[in-house]
């Protein structure tokens, strides 16, 4: 799927089209004498029904399908619809060998997130995750059916959907791979911590101090049982897949392949970035017209706009929203703010109960022309790829980090939970393409507008920020 010819000639070099390399190449294994009805490989993707996880695996489906391999994506009606509706950069309906399988789920609670919770981990999504065990039987039926007509059935499942690995092992020509939706740096430090942080010369040679996170920050008690249920079934996997690449995290991936982290007879691969690294200038996930924020960006100077988004799994308190608003106003920089509450387990139900986040009185009028508030779904890839975007104020979810890096955009970090503090460390201390907005140690406090405005000014309007942007652009080019 080559859309590079649609890019505008006047785009700066860091946003130029670079031909996407497809990291999965199994086409040459097809034997000429195979009967045409006998597929060499069919791939089944089993994502966790949360936006960041859905998004990464649906992007992987494109890379596989482009090699002539049929891909089956399994999920509920609701979450398959969510994955398709929110996708940017390409349209799955235009690719004939990608098939969505809608599995039914029993009714499950879909409560809102608590914006005032001290721990921002999205525990409100746990009922959704627990309901996915109902995918097991229909998945088994699908795998059995595919095994009758394919030489090999390869299952790629989210690291929190490990029951799929056991089902893959039940068919004679099945194999499974665990997809890790987090960064390699987080995975390394998490696994090292779980082993008791033994002396390790390779980790010590990194000269990086891991983020000091409690177990509750990473896996709250309410979620621990779900994690442990998954762990045992991981023994069926042939290996792990990461959404990263050597230019971003090579040193961390290499250490994960050494004692005591590697698992005997298992392999690991880095297939990243999974998101498209070149976009149609009008790309909006299959929509017939461009999003209004992209049209607004068209009128702004190159690298002058800060994109603001805190992802789909975190709910920010009213007081913190107010400080962010005032901070953006104080820093006097152009911005696009994707202002939405965290997703529920079912984003299409109870729409009348969705929290509308209020801004200070008169705020949108005061910032008109300088800032744009987007309350619907924002085309993040398109925003990050736009020449006018010069920075990203982010929660540092791995999806957001990998998209921003691949588009050459530096990041102002404000991590909320799980792998995000480690991702922020990667951005600021390892890659040196970002600034810290809020230190992880102060996560339980409301960050003031002044504290927010200062690093944004540094990123967007200082010589130091210009150098960060240059490093981000060079890294983005190398990654692409």
Beta-bridge partners for 102: 75
Neighbour-count burial for 322-347, b at 16+ CB within 10 Å, e otherwise: bbbbbbbbebebbbbbbbbbbbbbbb
Environment class of 174 (CB within 10 Å of its CB; exposed 0-12, middle 13-18, buried 19+): buried
Q: Where are the beta strands (DSSP E) in 282-374?
A: 305-309, 334-338, 371-374
Chain centroid to CA 229: how far? 24
Read off the pTM.
0.89
Please list the pLDDT of the chain residue by residue as tens digits (480 residues).
444 333 333 444 445 433 333 333 333 333 344 445 567 999 999 999 999 999 999 999 999 999 999 999 999 999 999 999 999 999 999 999 999 999 999 988 889 999 999 889 899 999 999 999 999 999 999 999 999 999 999 999 999 999 999 999 999 999 999 999 999 999 999 999 989 999 999 999 999 988 887 777 777 877 888 887 777 777 899 999 999 999 999 999 999 999 899 887 789 999 899 999 988 544 444 445 789 999 999 999 999 999 999 999 989 999 999 999 999 999 999 999 999 999 999 999 877 778 899 999 999 999 999 999 999 999 999 999 999 999 999 999 999 999 999 999 999 999 999 999 999 999 999 999 999 999 999 998 999 999 999 999 999 999 999 999 999 999 999 999
Q: Starting at the edge strand that comes first in sequence, how are the strands of the sheet with 389-394 ordered? A: 371-374, 334-338, 305-309, 389-394, 411-413, 434-436
Q: Which CATH superfamily is domain 39-270 in?
A: Glycogen Phosphorylase B; (3.40.50.2000)
Q: In CATH, what class is 292-479?
A: alpha beta
Contact 114, 106 (CB under 8 A): no
Q: How many Å from the N-terminal Cα to the C-terminal Cα in the chain?
A: 15
Catalytic sites, residue numbers: 53, 158
Which pLDDT value is given to residue 51?
96
Q: Measured between alpha carbons, how far is 71 from 180 in angstroms, rounded to an integer?
A: 19
Q: What are residue 112's phi and psi, to 5 degrees?
A: -75, 160
Q: Where in the chain is the domain with CATH 3.40.50.2000?
A: 39-270, 292-479
d(CA 144, CA 146): 6
pLDDT of 11: 44
């Amino acid at each position: 799927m080559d859309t590079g010819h649609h890019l505008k000639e006047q785009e700066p070099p860091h946003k130029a089209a670079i031909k996407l390399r497809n990291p999965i190449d199994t086409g040459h294994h097809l034997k000429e004498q195979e009967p045409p009805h006998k597929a060499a490989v069919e791939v089944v993707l089993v994502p966790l029904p949360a936006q960041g996880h859905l998004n990464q695996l649906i992007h992987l489906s494109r890379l596989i399908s482009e090699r002539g391999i049929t891909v089956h994506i399994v999920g509920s009606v609701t979450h398959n619809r969510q994955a398709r509706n929110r996708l940017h950069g390409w349209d799955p309906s235009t690719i004939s060998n990608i098939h969505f399988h809608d599995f039914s789920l029993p009714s499950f609670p879909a409560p809102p997130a608590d914006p005032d919770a001290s721990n921002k981990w999205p525990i409100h999504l746990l009922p959704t995750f627990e309901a996915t065990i109902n995918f097991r039987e229909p998945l088994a039926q699908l795998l059995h059916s595919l095994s009758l007509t394919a030489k090999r059935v390869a299952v790629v499942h989210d690291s929190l959907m490990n029951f799929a690995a056991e089902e893959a092992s039940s068919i004679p020509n099945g194999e499974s791979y665990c997809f890790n939706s987090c960064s390699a740096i987080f995975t390394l430090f998490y696994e090292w911590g779980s082993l008791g942080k033994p002396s390790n010369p390779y980790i010590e040679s990194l000269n990086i101090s891991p983020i000091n996170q409690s177990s509750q920050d990473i896996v709250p008690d309410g979620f621990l049982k779900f994690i442990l249920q998954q762990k045992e079934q991981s023994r069926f996997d042939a290996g792990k897949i990461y959404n990263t690449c050597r230019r971003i995290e090579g040193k961390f991936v290499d250490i994960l392949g050494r004692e005591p982290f590697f698992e005997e007879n298992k392999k690991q691969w880095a297939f990243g970035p999974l998101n498209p690294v070149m976009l149609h200038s009008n790309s909006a996930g299959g929509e017939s017209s461009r999003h209004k924020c992209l049209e607004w960006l068209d009128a702004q100077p190159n690298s002058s706009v800060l994109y603001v988004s805190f992802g789909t799994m975190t709910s920010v308190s009213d007081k913190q929203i107010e400080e962010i608003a005032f901070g953006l106003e104080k820093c006097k920089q152009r911005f696009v703010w994707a202002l939405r509450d965290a997703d529920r387990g079912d984003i299409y139900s109870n729409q009348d109960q969705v929290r509308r986040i209020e801004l200070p009185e008169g705020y949108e009028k005061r910032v008109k022309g300088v800032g744009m508030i987007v309350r619907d779904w924002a085309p993040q890839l398109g925003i990050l790829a736009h020449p006018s975007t010069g920075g990203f104020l982010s929660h540092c979810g791995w999806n957001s980090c990998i998209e921003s890096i691949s588009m050459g955009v530096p990041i102002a970090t404000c991590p909320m939970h799980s792998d995000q503090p480690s991702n922020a460390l990667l951005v600021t201390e390892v890659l040196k393409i970002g600034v810290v907005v809020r230190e992880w140690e102060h996560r339980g406090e409301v960050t003031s507008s002044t504290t927010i405005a200062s690093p944004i000014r540094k990123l967007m309007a200082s010589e130091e920020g210009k150098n960060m942007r240059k490093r981000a652009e060079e890294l983005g080019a190398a990654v692409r």
